[in-house]
Amino acid sequence: MTQRKNAEKITDAEWKVMHVLWDRGRLSSNDIVTAIVPETGWSPNTVRTLLIRLTDKGILRVEKKRGKEKDYPLCFYTPLFSREDCEAVHSRSFLERVFAGDASRLLAHFVNESSLTPEQIEELRAKLNDL
């Protein structure tokens, strides 16, 4: 729950970093930089700043390694929260903020706007049946 509190504070720019880490697991800062810079056009330093901030917030864990005494000192980062946890926290606050808590309207909106594939529609139907 204290965790949840921290997990709440992921900012727009930081989400990009988190998605990379959730997709690919523990990564060196360089891996993260090379994954993110082309897509965003950010400076590598910007990415590193975000990594530091996420670490300070307790959302990432950092390990400083120096391989076999041959490599540069490198930082490896690992998420301390699952993607699902973070999504859940932010989803709740989004629901409250924008839809004033009315999940039904939120769902209606996304169903209408999302151009779902037939398979996705079927999946969703199945989920509704499971309720």
Binding site for DNA (CB under 7 A): 9, 11-14, 28-30, 41-43, 45-46, 48-50, 52, 64, 66, 69-75
CB neighbour class for 55 (10 Å; exposed up to 12, middle 13-18, buried from 19): middle
Nearer CB in complex with DNA: 72/94: 72
> Is there binding between residue 94 and a copy of itself (CB under 8 A)?
yes
Per-residue tokens: 9: 């504070």
**Residue 80 binds which entry of DNA, a copy of itself, none, with Cβ cut-offs from 5 to 8 Å by kind?**
none
Binding mask 1-30 for a copy of itself (x = CB under 8 A): -----------x--x---x-----------
Q: Catalog residues that contact a copy of itself under the rule CB under 8 A.
A: 12, 15, 19, 86-88, 90-92, 94-95, 97-100, 103-104, 106-114, 116, 120-121, 123-125, 127-128, 131
